[in-house]
Amino acid sequence: MKYRTAFLTTVMAIGLSAGVARADRLIEQYNAYIGDEDLYNSNGEALTEPWQVIRQDRANYHRYGVSQPGDEGDSFFASAKNREKAERMIEYGTIESRAARALLRGGSVINVQIFRGADGDYINVTVD
């Protein structure tokens, strides 16, 4: 009985520590209003992918000082290097189909959650 209790305690400790090690961590989140300015790149070309709109929205906010009512700041995408990762971050994260359509159409508020996971950073995007 003594060995069985010790074995179960060890198994539980390993299981709990493994769960903690694999847990993803929310870094931050923000809301952003997607306006007409966010739908075009710096050359005036229409953006065709949701990740492009997110990247442009954050570049507008952080680099160009362009924001709309409903835009919130974030520290993660203040870095141009992190904005470059937007495509991969959506690929590894999730985006509601409604959010993807809203991004490409504009005129909506989205919520972006930025996570740090074992395989890298990723984002989940929903429509507010």
The pLDDT assigned to 2 comes to 54
* pLDDT score, position 11: 41
Q: CB of 79 within 8 A of CB of 27?
A: no
The amino acid sitting at 79 is: S
pLDDT of residue 16: 46
Q: Which residues pair with 59 in a beta bridge?
A: none
Above 70 in pLDDT, residue 8? no
Class of residue 111 by CB neighbours under 10 A (exposed 0-12, middle 13-18, buried 19+): middle
Average pLDDT over residues 106-118: 96
Nearest to 102 by CA among 46, 45, 33: 33
Residue 14: is its pLDDT beyond 50?
no
Identify the DSSP state of 126: E
For the segment 29-82, what is each residue's pLDDT rounded down to a tens digit? Answer: 999 999 999 999 999 999 999 999 999 999 999 999 999 999 999 999 999 999
3-state helix, strand, coil in the chain (%, to 5): 50, 25, 25
Average pLDDT over residues 80-108: 94
